[in-house]
């Protein structure tokens, strides 16, 4: 992994460079996240599984980003359009969305209305209109009519198609529309009229005519609407105010009020409606799904955590032991409600340490009226269980692993 990416990961996750480098090297050597978290604490600065997983995901992200950059640089280079400035922008980019915006004007395209217009020789007309100088668009278009273009109307339509695609690929245009989506996108759904009485659609009744802020949409709502759309009952859409979006684009691209500017204005509306809005909407569909998935996973994990933390023995006072040799056995004492009463670490590496550990366990059992002792089954689990079972606590205590 290149140093610039290591620095970026460390900065994003608030880690030191050594931690990121160590985790990257351990994973490259084949170590798993649980193994690293449990047995390589010194190398990772005691990073837990969550931090290591975050670093791992970041490494995957930047590895894929680097491969994408290589493809982009080669493609643009083959076109003969790779300037030193453009190359540096690509090399220094750490955001995949921004990177794709930079690449979009150079990206190989399928046949579009704009490419068809270019094939008909209408690119010079589009450039002429794009300048927005004084003149009559019809007169400007006349020289471009002929075998492939029957009249000035068709020529102007083709020129507007070229301009519309140019606007949709313009980096600042995409950033502005993306910001509008982020600030004010509205999630809507409606029932397909042919499915309204369908029995399977009734579970989506709350979303037959729904409209609400995308940013404030809870995960269950987003996932339900997406599921209804996938099953063929609902139509989902993500919208922003069209007038506001057009005003923002016109601020960037309109430079006059004449007839040629009028043609550009038409192209702006077409570019937004037909190209730019659907492209950015697709991005936000993916983002909304990912956000909903993450929130659903978080809720599930929290519910699972509470379930796992519930005492398997019911309301009993418990001493829980996490065995270990070199790092010692971590233990906690819990009351009937699972509240923490005491925590400490005992060691059993020497005879003296073992004797002290036995004495401490006996004292804790008496002091906190312990009814059961739970022992983990990790490293030193068997030895720790044998030791605990050999202790006379002077009172009945259940021992389980």
The closest of 344, 210, 179, 357 to 276, measured between CA atoms, is 179
Q: Are 141 and 125 in contact (CB under 8 A)?
A: yes
Chain-wide mean pLDDT for the chain?
90
Looking at residue 3, what is its pLDDT? 79
Q: How confident is the model at residue 242 (pLDDT cuts 50, 70, 90)?
A: very high
User: Is the pLDDT assigned to residue 216 strictly greater than 80?
Assistant: yes
How far is it, in rounded angstroms, from Cα 386 to Cα 401?
Answer: 11
Between 208-222, 267-281, 297-311, 326-340, the lowest mean confidence (pLDDT) is in: 297-311
- Give the per-residue pLDDT at 368: 93
Q: What is the mean pLDDT of residues 52-62?
A: 91
Contact in structure between 372 and 364 (CB atoms under 8 Å): no
Structure tokens at 184: 């004010």
Q: What is the pLDDT at residue 107?
A: 85
- Distance of alpha carbon 277 from alpha carbon 229, whole angstroms: 20
What is the pLDDT, as a whole number, of residue 315? 84
CA–CA separation, 69 and 60 (whole Å): 14
Q: How confident is the model at residue 46 (pLDDT cuts 50, 70, 90)?
A: confident
- Half-sphere exposure (CA, 13 Å, Cβ side) for 302? 6
Confidence class of residue 280 from pLDDT cuts 50, 70 and 90? very high
Record the pTM: 0.71
Model confidence at 1: pLDDT above 80: no
The string over 232-253, giving b where at least 16 C-beta atoms fall within 10 Å of a residue's C-beta and e elsewhere, is ebbebebbbeeeebbebbeeeb
Mean pLDDT of 300-326: 85
Percent share of the chain, pLDDT over 70 = 99
What's the pLDDT tens digit per position in 179-202? Answer: 999 999 999 999 998 888 888 889
What number of residues does the chain have? 401
Confidence label for 377 from pLDDT (cuts 50, 70 and 90): confident
In this model, does residue 336 exceed pLDDT 90?
no
Residue with tokens 């990416």: 5
3-state secondary structure the chain: CCHHHHHHHHHHHCCCHHHHHHHHHHHHCCCCHHHHHHHCHHHHCCCCHHHHHHHHHHHHHHHHHHHHHHHHHHHHHHCCCCCHHHHHHHHCCCCHHHHHHHHHHHCCCCCCHHHHHHHCCCHHHHHHHHCCCCCCHHHHHHHHCCCCCCCHHHHHHHHHHHHHHHHHCCHHHHHHHHHHHHHHCEEEEEECHHHCCCHHHHHHHHHCEEEEECCCCCHHHHHHHHHHHHCCCEEEEEECCHHHHHHHHHHHHCCCCCHHHHHHHHHHHHHHHHHHHHHHHHHHHHHHHHHHHHHHHHHHHHHHHHHHHCCCCCCCCEEEEECCCCCCEEEEEECCCCCEEEEEEECCCCHHHHHHHHHHHHHHHHHCCCCEEEECCCCCHHHHHHHHHCCCCCCCCEEEC
């Amino acid at each position: 992994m290149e140093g610039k990416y290591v620095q970026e990961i460390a900065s994003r996750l608030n880690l030191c460079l050594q931690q990121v480098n160590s985790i990257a090297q351990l994973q490259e050597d084949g170590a798993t996240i649980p193994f690293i978290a449990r047995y390589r604490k010194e190398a990772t600065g005691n990073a837990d599984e969550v931090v290591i997983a975050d670093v791992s995901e970041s490494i995957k992200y930047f590895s894929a980003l680097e491969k994408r950059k290589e493809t982009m640089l080669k493609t643009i280079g083959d076109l003969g359009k790779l300037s030193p400035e453009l190359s540096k922008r690509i090399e220094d980019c750490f955001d995949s969305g921004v990177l794709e915006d930079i690449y979009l004007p150079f990206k190989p395209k399928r046949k579009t209305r704009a490419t068809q217009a270019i094939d008909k020789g209408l690119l010079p007309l589009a450039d002429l209109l794009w300048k927005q100088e004084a003149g009559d668009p019809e007169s400007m278009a006349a020289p471009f009519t002929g075998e492939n273009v029957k009249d000035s109307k068709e020529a102007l339509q083709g020129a507007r198609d070229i301009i519309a695609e140019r606007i949709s690929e313009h980096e600042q245009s995409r950033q502005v529309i993306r910001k509008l989506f982020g600030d004010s996108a509205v999630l809507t759904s409606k029932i397909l009229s042919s499915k309204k009485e369908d029995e399977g659609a009734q579970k989506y009744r709350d979303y037959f005519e729904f409209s609400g802020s995308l940013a404030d949409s809870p995960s269950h709502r987003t996932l339900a609407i997406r599921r209804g759309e996938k099953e063929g009952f609902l139509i989902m859409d993500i919208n922003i105010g069209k007038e506001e979006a057009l005003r923002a684009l016109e601020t960037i691209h309109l430079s006059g009020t004449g007839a040629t500017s009028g043609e550009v204005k038409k192209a702006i509306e077409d570019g937004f409606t037909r190209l730019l809005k659907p492209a950015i909407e697709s991005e936000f569909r993916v983002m909304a799904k990912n956000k909903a998935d993450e929130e659903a996973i978080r809720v599930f994990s929290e519910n699972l955590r509470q379930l796992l933390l519930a005492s398997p023995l019911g309301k009993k006072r418990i001493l829980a032991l996490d065995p270990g040799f070199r790092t010692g056995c971590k233990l906690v004492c819990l009351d009937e409600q699972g509240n923490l009463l005491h925590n400490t670490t005992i060691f059993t590496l020497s005879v003296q340490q073992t004797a002290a550990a036995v004495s401490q366990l006996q004292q804790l059992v008496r002091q906190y009226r312990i009814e059961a002792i739970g022992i983990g089954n990790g490293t030193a689990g068997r030895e720790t269980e044998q030791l605990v079972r050999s202790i006379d606590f002077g009172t009945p205590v259940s021992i389980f692993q």
